Amino acid sequence: MTLGRRGVLAGAAASVAAPRVVGAQSAASRTLRVIPQANLTSVDPVWTTAVVTRNHAFLIYDQLCAQDASGAIRPQMAEGWAVSDDQLAWTFTLREGLAFHDGEPVRARDCVASINRWARRDPFMQVLWPNVAEIIALDDRRFRFRLHRPTPLLTLALGQTQFPCFIMPERIAQTDAFQQIRETVGSGPFRFIPGEWNPGQKAVWARNERYVPRQEPVDGLAGGRVPRLDRIEWTIIVDSATSANAINQGEQDYWEYPLHDLLPLLRRNRQVVVEQRLQDGTYGIARFNTLQPPFNNPAIRRAVAMAVDQRDYLRAVAGNDQAGWGVCEGVFTCDTPLANTAGSEILQTRSIERARAALREAGYNNEKVVLITPGDYPQINALSLVTADIMTRMGMNVEVISTDWGTLVQRRASREPVERGGWSIIHTTASGQSLALPVFHLFLRANGPNAWFGWPNVPEVEQLRGEWVEKGADAAEGRRIAQALNAAAMREMYYMPLGYYWQPSAWRRNIQGVFRAPATVFWNISKT
Amino acid sequence: MWAYIVRRVLATIPVMAVVALFVFSLLYLAPGDPAAVIAGDQATPDDVERIRASLGLDRPYLVRFGAWVWDILHGDLGTSIFTNLPVSHMIAQRIEPTLSLMVVTLILAVSIAVPMGVVAAWKQGTSIDRAVMAFAVLGFSVPVFVVGYLLAFVFALELDWLPVQGYTPFREGFIPWMENLILPAVALGGVYIALIARITRATMLEVLSQDYIRTARAKGAGQRSILFLHALKNAAVPIVTIIGIGIALLIGGAVVTESVFAIPGLGRLTVDAILRRDYPVIQGVVLLFSFVYVLVNLLIDLLYTLFDPRIRY
């Protein structure tokens, strides 16, 4: 152990001002200093889908129901819900004692307004929305969904983690879903401190003294959300090396997304814990533009897929440690009920030679392939460069355009040929949660102009997806449909699954109570 | 003099107008779509279009430019697309760290570079001169972020003398404020020291070869008096000019330095805004930087009269 000048000075100062320092230390020990994964630029979780905004929202808002560690939906703000015999009426009852940060009680009409606003933006709820006849507040603690037809996925939509339904006061929730709210009043375990928000530098939350947690132990995002910290301070540090130094020196307590390259450095420090906290891996995705040559030809898309070895991609992103990633050759999240590899044999070819032969047979005529890669997203950039290398080795005419994310998200919307600013292939990543079910699996959609960028048009996939929404609640039937979906997606190959990697977090050893969850949340965590 | 100052201040108005037009036009032409960034992957094209409309980004160029200029004339720099906060508020939050960094760097650089340049000129051709010039080349050649990482490694990680990152406001005490600024200022100051030292040396060499310096020596003036009273004062105009020009260098370098040391300054605000295409913030910050630069140039011009009485406005 070495003692630096600052340590000596601190010791000397402590000896002359002990009571004050003790007070300061105890206050400091109740403040968790966090380096979040990104800058908190917006505080409205309906207006933007940014994960960092969702994580902020988990601190200040509460949910009617939430996912436990097994993925099951359990009551959170709701005491429970009752379903009528004909399954056309769902009545939710709120727990007693719920209150917003401004002291107003949480009422059923707040829930109705919040659900209405959220439903306008959430893709999952939009699928179910035609089934909803109305939502009405029965009294202060009860509200009812009246449905046109049975909708067993209703609580799954309300309790999902991907785009959660957070409850706001009615006066705020009445804001148009496409306008950003200005007030940050929720009923969650922490209160946002707007006066200390300096976007790009700092965001601060304080314990909500009024919060009444559930009595059950914490389980994923379900159970008791007990605020054990006085303050949570997010400090935005964009430089990964600086973040690692700050954690190693104890200047920060928790780093949400350490860069994989820096994990060995962090692991060498005995005062730092490096563990996988998020329950789901992050999945790599390569997306073809199916409207323009050469990838408007499914045989050429399949030829590229034959050259893919997911392990190359995952090593490029997460290093050689195989505990840090996994091969997953289906379209659904591995180790979830719908995961299957029906028709995925093509992804197990892993041969440049066979891919080259398939490319010739497919009639590839040296058309230019434009691959756009975001240089400011290291993981997506790494995935992109591996694909560029594969296609070059296959003999394709590849042009790699390295740009920033802001430009990429605009250019990927172009349906023009590559000569007029279009694109051929892009990459992205998605959380495992978002790929677990057909109803919100963005990359599986194949409804032509309304599909995600690349715009595949495969009516069979859309028909199967609709079938799953109707019958998916039955496990066997749901699995059969999922297998058919996987086979169709592999046959059409409008996107290539590239496997998944784990994104660990790092925290100082004096941080206690860190638990695994589908999202980064800070209740039940304390600092000694 | 006062008439000159008023004329120069008034002259900033057309300069700022040109800057405003230029910045707005460049951003209008630049690729990128904040609505798509906000909407996220799950959004439909209709959703993106609705967000774009709600932000007013679907309006024609001239309408948007006119509205922006109108707001500026009313003292309103606009509202951030992402944070929904006034741009002036965001700038106010960030101005102190950047100003602190620049002032400390400026003081550090001038107090080191000018004596270095004077000594190098005085000892021309000696090992001291060569050492100073070698440092100057090094200062120019090594990128700011490399110097930053090395300083952080040695003085924060190994010696534990200074914090790795962050910024403490001045109101919380001079020592903590300074602790957070020493490493960034040294990292940022390297290039600046090199620049000023080289110019000081070159100018001093020229001045030291003048007849009046020979006369001063002949009448028995001491070395210190010759260097600092006769030579440096006459060399001051180019040195002050280069210090002024170097402010632009500092503004550019602050972006990198603020990233490496996690200082919440205007440099980071600019980069973040550019990456997200937060147009009102970019426009506001660039206007501010331009205005500061124009004012610095005015200040430098006025300083000339202090060092060279022959200059009159």
> Does residue B149 sit at the A interface (CB-CB below 8 Å)?
yes
- Residues A337-356, mean pLDDT to the nearest whole number: 96
Q: What is the pLDDT of residue A12?
A: 41
What pTM was estimated for this model as a whole?
0.85
Which chain A residues are Cβ-neighbours of B46 within 8 angstroms? Answer: none
DSSP chain B: -HHHHHHHHHHHHHHHHHHHHHHHHHHHHS---HHHHHH-TT--HHHHHHHHHHTTTTS-HHHHHHHHHHHHHTT---B-TTT-SBHHHHHHHHHHHHHHHHHHHHHHHHHHHHHHHHHHHHTTTSHHHHHHHHHHHHHHHS-HHHHHHHHIIIIIIIS--S-SS----GGG-HHHHHHHHHHHHHHHHHHHHHHHHHHHHHHHHHHHTSHHHHHHHHTT--HHIIIIIIIHHHHHHHHHHHHHHHHHHHHHHHHHHHHHTT--SHHHHHHHHHHHT-HHHHHHHHHHHHHHHHHHHHHHHHHHHHH-TT---
- Residues A478-500, mean pLDDT to the nearest whole number: 97
More confident residue, B310 or A225: A225
Minimum Cα–Cα distance from A238: chain B residue: B259
Omega before A199 within 30 of 0, i.e. cis: no
- Residues B104-111, mean pLDDT to the nearest whole number: 94
Identify whether residues B66 and B104 lie together within a single domain.
no
Does B258 fall in a domain? yes
Does B12 fall in a domain? no
Identify whether residues B70 and B105 lie together within a single domain.
no
Q: What is the pLDDT of residue A90?
A: 98
- What does the pLDDT look like over B172-184, one tens digit per residue? 999 999 999 999 9
Q: What is the pLDDT of residue A28?
A: 62
Question: Pseudo-torsion of CA A123, A124, A128, A132, nearest 10°?
Answer: -80
Identify whether residues B43 and B116 lie together within a single domain.
no
pLDDT category at A18 given cuts 50, 70, 90 is very low
**What's chain B's Rg over C-alpha atoms?**
24
Does B85 fall in a domain? no
- What does the pLDDT look like over B206-265, one tens digit per residue? 999 999 889 988 988 888 888 888 888 888 888 988 888 888 778 888 888 998 999 999
| Domain edge (last residue) among B12, B45, B76 | B76
DSSP A64-107: SEEE-TTS-EEESSEEEEEE-TTS-EEEEEEPTT-B-TTSPBP-
pLDDT category at B29 given cuts 50, 70, 90 is confident
Which chain B residues are Cβ-neighbours of A376 within 8 angstroms? Answer: 275
Here the tokens at position A266 are 């962090």
Identify whether residues B117 and B64 lie together within a single domain.
no
Tell which B residues from 151 to 180 touch A, by Cβ distance under 8 Å: 152, 156-157, 159-166
Cβ atoms of residues A511 and A524 within 8 Å: no
pLDDT, chain A, mean: 92
Which chain A residues are Cβ-neighbours of B268 within 8 angstroms? Answer: 200-201, 238
Of B32, B163, B264, the CB nearest to A201: B264
Does B81 fall in a domain? no
Q: Looking at the predicted structure, is the pLDDT value of residue A381 above 60?
A: yes
Cβ atoms of residues A78 and A66 within 8 Å: no
Does B15 fall in a domain? no
pLDDT category at B15 given cuts 50, 70, 90 is confident
> Does residue B94 sit at the A interface (CB-CB below 8 Å)?
yes
Q: What is the pLDDT of residue A123?
A: 85
Write the CA distances from A281 to A43, A266, A335, A515, integer angstroms: 25, 20, 11, 16
Identify whether residues B134 and B231 lie together within a single domain.
yes
Write the CA distances from A46 to A10, A53, A172, integer angstroms: 46, 9, 12
- What does the pLDDT look like over A192-204, one tens digit per residue? 999 999 998 999 9
Identify whether residues B66 and B152 lie together within a single domain.
no
Of B45, B50, B260, the CB nearest to A178: B50
Q: What is the pLDDT of residue A24?
A: 45
| Domain edge (last residue) among B23, B51, B76 | B76
Identify whether residues B197 and B111 lie together within a single domain.
yes
β-sheet with A505-508: strand ranges across: A190-192, A202-207, A231-235, A31-35, A254-255, A505-508, A272-275
Angle, to 10 degrees, between the axis of helix B127-141 and the axis of helix B174-208?
A: 120
Does B140 fall in a domain? yes
Q: Looking at the predicted structure, is the pLDDT value of residue B53 above 90?
A: no
Chain CA centroid to CA B143, Å: 16
User: Which range has the top average pLDDT, A79-93, A393-407, B210-224?
Assistant: A79-93
Q: Is A256 exposed, middle or buried (0-12, 13-18, 19+ CB in 10 A)?
A: buried
CATH assignment of the domain containing B245: 1.10.3720.10
pLDDT category at A16 given cuts 50, 70, 90 is very low
Percent share of chain A, pLDDT over 90: 82
Identify whether residues B127 and B154 lie together within a single domain.
yes
Q: What is the pLDDT of residue B251?
A: 83
pLDDT category at A454 given cuts 50, 70, 90 is very high
| Domain edge (last residue) among B48, B76, B104 | B76
Across A289-392, where does the E strand assignment appear?
Answer: 325-326, 368-374
Q: What is the pLDDT of residue A9?
A: 40
3-state secondary structure of A17: coil
Which chain B residues are Cβ-neighbours of A452 within 8 angstroms? Answer: 41
The CA-based diameter of chain A, rounded to the nearest angstrom, is 83
Counted across chains A and B, CB pairs separated by less than 8 A come out at 140
Give dist(CA B40, CA B48) in Å, integer: 9
Percent share of chain B, pLDDT over 70: 99
Total of domains in chain B: 2
Q: Under 8 Å CB-to-CB from B124, ≥6 apart: which residues?
A: B205
Least-confidence region, from A294-303, B4-13, B264-273: B4-13
Q: What is the pLDDT of residue A172?
A: 97
- What does the pLDDT look like over B131-169, one tens digit per residue? 999 998 998 889 999 999 999 999 999 999 999 999 999
Tell which B residues from 240 to 259 touch A, by Cβ distance under 8 Å: 259
Q: What is the pLDDT of residue B30?
A: 82
Q: Looking at the predicted structure, is the pLDDT value of residue A86 above 90?
A: yes
Of B37, B152, B161, the CB nearest to A245: B152
Identify whether residues B67 and B153 lie together within a single domain.
no
Identify whether residues B61 and B154 lie together within a single domain.
no
Q: Is B157 exposed, middle or buried (0-12, 13-18, 19+ CB in 10 A)?
A: middle
Q: What is the pLDDT of residue A220?
A: 96
Domain span at residue B227? 91-307
3-state secondary structure of A518: coil
Which chain B residues are Cβ-neighbours of A198 within 8 angstroms? Answer: 93-94, 264
3-state secondary structure of A203: strand
Does B84 fall in a domain? no
Identify whether residues B66 and B164 lie together within a single domain.
no
Does B83 fall in a domain? no
Identify whether residues B136 and B253 lie together within a single domain.
yes
Q: What is the pLDDT of residue A27?
A: 60
Task: Give the residue from A239, A268, A443 with the most B CB atoms within 10 Å of its CB, the best one to mutate.
Answer: A239
- Residues A475-481, mean pLDDT to the nearest whole number: 95
Write the CA distances from B44 to A41, A291, A473, B113, integer angstroms: 22, 18, 27, 58
Alpha helices in A187-259 (DSSP H): 240-248
